[in-house]
Amino acid sequence: MSLLRRRGLGPLLCAEVVSSLGSQMTYLALPWFVLVTTHSATRMGVVLGVELLPTALLGIPSGAVVARLGARRTMMVADAARAPLMASIPLLHSAGHLSFPALLGIVFVIGVFLAPHFSAQRLILPELVGDDERTVAQANAFVEGAQRTTALIGPSTAGVLIPIVGAPNMLYVDACTFLVSFVTLALFVPRRPPLPATDEGRGVLSGVRFLWRDPLMRRLMPTALVLNAMAQLLAISLPVLAFEEFGGSSRVAGVFFAAFGAGAVVGSVVAVKLVPRFDPIRLAACALVGLVLPIPLLALHLPAWGVVAVLFVSSLFGPLVNAPLIGVITMRTPAALRAKVMTAVLTFALLAGPIGLFLGGPLLQSLGPHKVFLLIAAGQLAATLPFAVLALRRDSPLQAAPSRSPST
């Protein structure tokens, strides 16, 4: 594929695969560690919620940091900072000094780098492949595919290794992958100077103002807000389901998360083919419906293979949502505003995520995972259907170009 021959895109994908592989292992290892050591779904939810909390608090201001440093340097700073932070968790645990407040403090600082890293990860693509909307969407599909491949391998590998080496020691692997990503970006991804500031891009809230003016963004953000809150609730429900109903098996939990990755890998291959051929907004709207329709089945008492099948089918549609929408968002935003708009998008998308995580633990303890799955399904459908209906209308206002007037 000619797109992969663009200078720097291959090394960027390699860095993302390595870094994401460690993160996907941690995605299971960290909540499993909290479950095993505290036997508390509530504490597990608190840890994951605190890790996500900085995105809600600092996501929008971090856009100014990305704009100042540039995408490549922001990613390198995030990788270099998170490596020692992640390694400190098992180090303190082995020394007997990892209190619960200390764990919360460490994961909070790790979470500070989530929003700028995600934004930079997407903003670097136009620098490497150009400004054509469908080309950028296709490049996003490659990034989605690379990340989703690790979502297939990482949790299942962690599920096998946790009983052998212990959940805390898996975090050392994540720390090493951050270092490998840092070195790959430094040596093989070309440096691009940050875009000069313009009047349109000045001000911490310039990205928010742009989102409010744009008809697509204004309607997409509430949908993303609810969907991501439900996704976080789903993510913490799966380890509890494996812990309570499948013999406390980390391997089963790993297979559940691997099902997400397997479906998304297939979906990413499909996205690479479909994104250049179809209207991206309508493609994403159809995929959103496909993503949420299987979830109500999780409310049933399914065997493990049934849970895996539901998660696989749902995640199949994820790349067909993310790749076209992120491409559209990137390219309909003025270049000088992209850093602040992308961090604002991530902030709004994840704003309710900590709430889902904080409430998820008590809900799981009081209702059990199956009733929580039913709650998740109802929330996802309520958020998705109005956006999908509007996007699929022949005269949809979401297709309109945004205003390019300067921010006031």
Q: Where are the domains of the chain?
A: 2-398
pLDDT in tens, 329-364: 888 888 778 888 877 887 777 777 888 888 888 999
Would you say residue 204 has pLDDT above 70?
no
CA 129 to chain centre: 22
Q: How far apart are CA 384 and CA 364, in angstroms?
A: 24
Q: How far apart are CA 229 and CA 232, in angstroms?
A: 5
**280, containing H or E segment:** helix 280-292
Reported residue count of the chain is 408
Q: Collect all residues with Cβ–Cβ distance below 8 Å to 357 and sequence separation of at least 6.
A: 45, 46, 48, 49, 52, 232, 233, 236
Q: How far apart are CA 306 and CA 129, in angstroms?
A: 40
Task: State the virtual CA torsion across 89, 43, 26, 298 in degrees, nearest 10.
Answer: 170
CA 215 to chain centre: 24
pLDDT in tens, 255-270: 998 898 888 888 888 8
How sure is the predictor about 396, in pLDDT bands with cuts at 50, 70 and 90?
Answer: low
**53, containing H or E segment:** helix 41-69
Q: How far apart are CA 383 and CA 139, in angstroms?
A: 27
User: Are 369 and 377 within 8 A, CB to CB?
Assistant: no
Q: How far apart are CA 2 and CA 322, in angstroms?
A: 22
**Number of CB atoms found within 10 A of residue 374's CB:** 16
Tokens representing 314 are: 């749902």
Highest-confidence segment of 108-122, 308-322, 341-355, 381-395: 308-322
User: Are 212 and 106 within 8 A, CB to CB?
Assistant: no
Residue 404 is given by DSSP the state -
Q: What is the mean pLDDT of residues 356-377?
A: 90
Q: The domain 2-398: what is its CATH number? A: 1.20.1250.20
Q: What backbone phi and psi angles, to 5 degrees, belong to 407?
A: -70, 150
User: Are 210 and 407 within 8 A, CB to CB?
Assistant: yes
* Selected residue with higher pLDDT from 398 and 286: 286
Q: How far apart are CA 189 and CA 208, in angstroms?
A: 30
How sure is the predictor about 380, in pLDDT bands with cuts at 50, 70 and 90?
Answer: very high
- The pLDDT of residue 196 is 58
The answer, as to whether pTM is greater than 0.85, is: no
